[in-house]
Structure 1
Amino acid sequence: MLNKFFYRTFKEHFSLSETTAIYLNLVANLVVLSLLGYILFKAFRYFGRKAIRKMANKTSTTFDDLLIKNRTFLNLTRIIIFILIYNLLKEILVDFPNLFTYAERITTIGIIFAIIWFIRSILLTVKDFLRTTEAFKDKPLESYVQIFMIVLWLIAAISSFSVLTGKPLIRFLTALGAFSAVLLLVFKDTILGFVSSIQVAVNDTVRIGDWITMEKYGADGDVVEINLTSVIIRNFDNTISSIPTYYLTSDSFKNWRTMNSSGGRRIKRAILIKINSIHFLTDEDIERFKKIELISDYITKSSEEVKAYNEKHNIDKSVLLNGRNLTNFGTFRIYLDKYIENHPKINQDMLLMSRQLEPTPNGIPLEIYAFSREKVWQDYERVMANIFDHILASVKYFDLEVFQNPSSIDVNNLKEIQKSE
């Protein structure tokens, strides 16, 4: 037998004492066991990986490739080696019953943790495989893997303590029940994150790849990961924001996903028009505005209707205020409506209009409400900028003025005018 081979050698050939031969036999057996375990580990790992790679090359699925990536066979090899060591311990430590008891316990713990690592590699493989499918590619799979692993590690820790102390497992489970309040406090964020990740997945409020905005936490970018404890967001300035997962259910945030999947991105911006620049149109103004192609038909038709109404009711037009009149502000709004309706980058199937908002001390806001066909941020900003460039440049053709706080140049010009007067 292997356990007595070195003992007989040391006893018979070297004439060593009984005690010395026993201890040297133990050391030699442990060295042989270590070398045997290392050689078997390398052999199983090499031939197993080679066999799996050969099989993976013949199959069309990526699942077996992911098994290799997550070192599944490596972890399986560890289990096999630990089991072999466990079975050989009794032979090797036959002369040391007390040492055998502790070695057996430590090896059992090694088997437990090797099994946990093997299960982890299987879970990671399943997660990575599901991530390649259309149905699960944007789901928070990391959260489920993490909560499952937490449960497994907890079971492994309890089992290890039970094996190490030699106490029945039921005692540790009883103590764990009494300790549950403390555990709930320690794992509060984990539990909240797990519940929140389930709510997020079921309600489909956030997916990986969604653009979300949480102004409270300075987050504005794409979701790159949703795990058990946090949501990782890559902001548009290339910084990373990490937000606790349960904030997605307890706090408000803006998800731009539906905008990306819709027919357009909203444009909602206003300019301020000076109130004292608004006036009724004179006959000269009407004739001048008829030359503007976008509103030529509108001016012709509207001016005829106004003129017919005033004549029918014998309105005294020696005072421009009397009767019905067109205004430069109203005409400008119609012009903007026509301009937006003819803009190639605006989605004509969605709501669009120019509207007058409530007057402010700085003037009357004139707001453009429409939807750009371009939804990518850079292209969208260009479309919106081009529209408002045109609006700001066209205001003066309608004898309107845009409000702007006076600058130092304006103050100096006013002083020069006062001096010249």
Structure 2
Amino acid sequence: MDQELRASITQWLATVGIDSQPADGVSTSILVIVCFIVAFIGYIFVKRGVVSTMNMVITRSRVHWDDIFMRYRVLEKLAKLVPALILNIILPLALTEHEVLASLADRLLDVTIVILFVRAVYSALDAANEVADVNLVSRRLPIKSFVQLFKLFMFFVAIIISISVLADQSPVYFLSGLGVATGLVMLVFRDTILGFVAGIQLAANRMVSPTDWIQMDKYGADGAVEEVSLTTVKVRNWDQTITMIPAYALVSDAFKNWRGMSESGGRRIKRSVQIDISSIGFLTEQDRQRLSKINLLKSYFAAKSQEISTFNAQVEDADMPVNSRHLTNVGTFRAYMLAYLKQHEKVHKDMTLLVRQLAPTSSGVPIELYIFTNDIRWAAYEDIQADIFDHVFAILPEFGLRVYQGPTGADVRSLQNL
């Protein structure tokens, strides 16, 4: 096909009076100049005609992804292939009498075409990566890692093809030689290869994606992932510092990814309040009458009073607290907090909701709230948590309970004066 095309061009040059096989250097120089002029005209036609027209269509279109490709000048870089292709076809015709020069020009043009093509593809890949970012595809898939992987693959292919063209050898010849240098490559580029493999694992398993909140204390990382590449993961910490984590570290070491929390729509509150053991006791009749006026406890007292009365009726000497059942202030407080949280508008009702008593310690009896908020934003979450525990501390005296607080120096001196 190439020979037929060149034969057609040769015939066309003959019709316009140009000898495609000149015998002197002057004619050869003229033909070379003519070739460059034809290539330049072809480039101007494609750039000013085809590319400009397509850019006008892109500008007027309603979609936005094509504007990104235009901003990366993908069409302009493809247009640069036109003069190289034209020269690759007609320049050897002008150098027919100079075989060495013709062969060298042909090889250089082939390499130029490969380089220009790779540059155009690189721009298209960068544009595709930005399109993925705009459409939030990168949150589900690390598109940038795949783009870098494809770029790296194209780079090595282009290098091998270019060297094989310049050396006039088959690409298989150079590929076979890479096996000999594998050991040296593994030794010198160990970290790069580890990062490369880890980057593929991160991308394939979706272990980390942009906008994920990850925590990795070993590297001082606690913030949102901004970029996932084949070798590094860029994390912007909450204090606005930047941490660069090697990709292979995320595969070999442990880290925490808060993506599940973000996707679930609930953020956990797991905090306890220490109750002074000396303040825990049975409710008196006056306490029951007073606390039964609390709206959230009316159904609780109604059910518990019936249950306890039925049990105590079957017990001898029920007037002794040790023989019968009685309500405690801490148990009533737990029932109140459970009812309070169930009706709280900021608490996630479809997730775990517990008010539990933990093992007592030297600091008192911990009453832990294990709940999830329905707002995962950091500032809103902190406000909800603070409001709930503000209420806890304020309501405790109503149940005759005290929060344990370690004695201060003034408290110790006052005890000594007694």
* Between 266-275 and 300-309, the greater mean CA deviation after superposition: 300-309
Of 292, 313, 316 in structure 2, the residue corresponding to residue 314 of structure 1 is 316
Deviation at 1:359, TM superposition (A): 1.8
Q: Which residue does 1:227 correspond to in 2?
A: 229
Distance 2:303 2:61 in 1: 74
Deviation at 1:382, TM superposition (A): 0.8
1:358-397 superposed matches below 5 A: 358-397=359-398
Contact 1:140 1:197 in 2 (8 A): no
Distance 1:276 1:125 in 2: 69
Change (3 A) 1:411 1:164: same
Distance 2:36 2:188 in 1: 40
Change (3 A) 1:176 1:301: closer
* Between 321-330 and 127-136, the greater mean CA deviation after superposition: 127-136
Q: Which residue does 1:403 correspond to in 2?
A: 404
Contact 1:49 1:68 in 2 (8 A): no
The amino acid that maps onto 2:240 is N
Distance 1:34 1:365 in 2: 86
Deviation at 1:385, TM superposition (A): 0.7
Change (3 A) 1:304 1:66: closer
Distance 2:291 2:348 in 1: 27
Of 236, 256, 277 in structure 1, the residue corresponding to residue 258 of structure 2 is 256
Deviation at 1:413, TM superposition (A): 4.1
Normalised by the length of structure 2, the TM-score is: 0.80
Write the deviation string for residues 264-312 of structure 1: whole angstroms up to 9, x where unpaired.
3222111112222222233333333334332244345534643553353
Deviation at 1:400, TM superposition (A): 1.9
Change (3 A) 1:155 1:202: closer
The amino acid that maps onto 1:328 is N
Would you say 1:245 and 2:243 are equivalent positions? no
The Cα RMSD (Å) is 3.7
Q: Which residue does 2:327 correspond to in 1?
A: 326
Write the deviation string for residues 152-206 of structure 1: whole angstroms up to 9, x where unpaired.
2112222323333444433322211222333345555555555545544554444
Name stretches of at least 5 consecutive residues in structure 1 with no aligned partner: 9-21
Of 132, 138, 159 in structure 1, the residue corresponding to residue 140 of structure 2 is 138
Of 171, 176, 179 in structure 1, the residue corresponding to residue 178 of structure 2 is 176
Of 407, 411, 414 in structure 1, the residue corresponding to residue 412 of structure 2 is 414
Change (3 A) 1:121 1:322: same
Write the deviation string for residues 287-343 of structure 1: whole angstroms up to 9, x where unpaired.
3333433224434553464355335322263x5444322222112111111211221
1:14-163 superposed matches below 5 A: 41=43, 44-57=46-59, 59-62=61-64, 64-87=66-89, 90=92, 102-129=104-131, 138-163=140-165
Percent pairwise identity: 35
Contact 2:292 2:301 in 1 (8 A): yes
Change (3 A) 1:89 1:229: same
Q: Which residue does 2:209 correspond to in 1?
A: 207
The amino acid that maps onto 1:173 is L
Deviation at 1:362, TM superposition (A): 1.9
Deviation at 1:89, TM superposition (A): 5.0
Name stretches of at least 5 consecutive residues in structure 2 with no aligned partner: 1-17
Normalised by the length of structure 1, the TM-score is: 0.79
Write the deviation string for residues 48-68 of structure 1: whole angstroms up to 9, x where unpaired.
431211232465554543432
Contact 1:355 1:366 in 2 (8 A): yes
Distance 1:42 1:218 in 2: 55
Distance 1:150 1:217 in 2: 28
Contact 1:277 1:401 in 2 (8 A): yes
Q: Which residue does 2:6 correspond to in 1?
A: none
Of 247, 272, 293 in structure 2, the residue corresponding to residue 270 of structure 1 is 272
The amino acid that maps onto 1:287 is Q
Contact 1:48 1:73 in 2 (8 A): no
Deviation at 1:366, TM superposition (A): 0.8
Distance 1:263 1:170 in 2: 55
Q: Which residue does 2:341 correspond to in 1?
A: 340
Deviation at 1:356, TM superposition (A): 0.5
Deviation at 1:235, TM superposition (A): 2.8
Contact 2:118 2:154 in 1 (8 A): yes
Distance 1:279 1:378 in 2: 38
The amino acid that maps onto 2:148 is Q
* Between 33-42 and 348-357, the greater mean CA deviation after superposition: 33-42
Contact 2:265 2:375 in 1 (8 A): no
Change (3 A) 1:222 1:289: same
Distance 1:126 1:263 in 2: 30
The amino acid that maps onto 1:355 is R
Contact 2:145 2:203 in 1 (8 A): no
Q: Which residue does 1:298 correspond to in 2?
A: 300
The amino acid that maps onto 1:213 is Q
Q: Which residue does 1:289 correspond to in 2?
A: 291
* Between 80-89 and 326-335, the greater mean CA deviation after superposition: 80-89
Contact 2:213 2:258 in 1 (8 A): yes
Distance 1:190 1:228 in 2: 9
Distance 2:33 2:360 in 1: 91
Q: Which residue does 2:352 correspond to in 1?
A: 351
* Between 350-359 and 178-187, the greater mean CA deviation after superposition: 178-187
Deviation at 1:129, TM superposition (A): 4.5
